[in-house]
Amino acid sequence: MSSPVSGQSDSPARDPRHWDDVALQRALDRAGDGSWGPVAVLPSTGSTNADAMDQVREGAPEGFTVVADEQTQGRGRLDRTWASPYGAGIAMSVVLRPLVPDAVWGWIPLIAGIAVVDALAEQGVAAALKWPNDVVIDGDARDGSAGPRKLGGLLVERVGPAVVVGIGLNVDLTADELPVARATSTRLEGADVSREALVVDVLDHLRRRYLHWQLASGDARRSGTVEAYAERCVTLGRGVRALLPGGAVVEGEASTVDDDGRLVLRLADGSTRVVSAGDVEHLR
């Protein structure tokens, strides 16, 4: 959504940590017919997911979105925290009300991951997915340890007949502000990203992917979702260590994602193991 500029500009330099409500509204107006929304922008909140879940209980429509400059109690999977300096990233949560069988709702976080990667590509960021819910840059961590570098993540929570898709992305963090060596930001990857445009691109790609999946009655294979996820997932083809619920550990090659979105590992003895939940570490 940027345009080339020739010569010297008299406009002040854009402050990436200052949220421009007008720019966001203009971007939303250009993006579509407004059938999704509205978008509520907050300077600070405990958790955008908690806010969106509260709004679901009040009848929030599909597509209702909460965006915040700062989360003081942001959450990730397994009750981990998600910290970001004020104005340095994106914290957003989107309400969905799926009309497909509950049994296939497990695809929603993977669909959201596809949408985020495609939105980042429009901003010049070559991101990918690490199963199950990390948005990453392929390559070693900044301290030389095994990567990939984590750019963001997703947390999907159910509220009755609805789900809330939480998305956190590091945009303007400097190296000194990174929480861990494996983290990164779009700024550190060399991209000048407009947070306002990125929010709109995420919503646009999520709506299209999600509706296409729903029109296929939630069939991930028929909708092309399995193939799309596999194309963007850097975990596949890698040696990995899976840390399973309960403390068990299994190592093998991540060979594919099955029709239920589960990771299929090929073990050293030639057998396979299906992983439906857990943390996955890439091995060198």
Strands 249-257, 239-243: pairing is antiparallel
200 and 270 within one domain: no
The H-assigned helical ranges of the chain are 21-31, 48-57, 108-122, 195-215, 225-232
102 and 47 within one domain: yes
CB 251 within 8 A of CB 284: no
137 and 263 within one domain: no
264 and 123 within one domain: no
252 and 140 within one domain: no
Residue 81 banded pLDDT, cuts 50, 70, 90:
low
* Residue 16 to residue 233: CA distance in whole angstroms: 29
What is the residue range of 243's domain?
239-282
What percentage of the chain reaches a pLDDT higher than 90?
68
Q: Which amino acid is at 89?
A: G
Within-domain flag for 5: no
The structural domain count of the chain equals: 2
Domain holding 155: CATH number?
Answer: 3.30.930.10
272 and 180 within one domain: no
Residue 171 banded pLDDT, cuts 50, 70, 90:
very high
Domain holding 265: CATH number?
Answer: 2.30.30.100
Would you state the pLDDT for residue 36? 76
221 and 254 within one domain: no
Residue 123 banded pLDDT, cuts 50, 70, 90:
very high
In terms of Cβ atoms closer than 10 Å to its own Cβ (0-12, 13-18, 19+), residue 47 is buried
168 and 42 within one domain: yes
147 and 42 within one domain: yes
C-alpha atoms less than 13 angstroms from C-alpha of 130 in its C-beta half-sphere: 25
Residue 115 backbone zone (phi > 0: left; psi -120 to 50: alpha; other: beta): alpha
Which secondary structure element, helix H or strand E, spans residue 133, and what is its range?
A: none
CB 280 within 8 A of CB 132: yes
- Among 111-120, 139-148, 196-205, the range scoring the smallest mean pLDDT is 139-148
Within-domain flag for 14: no
Q: State the average pLDDT over residues 67-93.
A: 76
The closest alpha carbon to 280, from 238, 246, 240, 229, belongs to: 240
Q: Which amino acid is at 281?
A: E
- pLDDT higher than 80, residue 107: yes
Would you state the pLDDT for residue 15? 64
CA distances from 180 to 11, 114, 147, 163, 175 (A): 36, 24, 12, 29, 10
pLDDT 10s digits, 7-46: 333 444 556 667 777 777 777 776 665 667 788 989 899 9
- Tell me the average pLDDT of the chain: 88
137 and 109 within one domain: yes
31 and 55 within one domain: yes
Would you state the pLDDT for residue 141? 86
Would you state the pLDDT for residue 74? 59
105 and 191 within one domain: yes
pLDDT 10s digits, 226-238: 999 999 999 999 9
CB 66 within 8 A of CB 92: yes
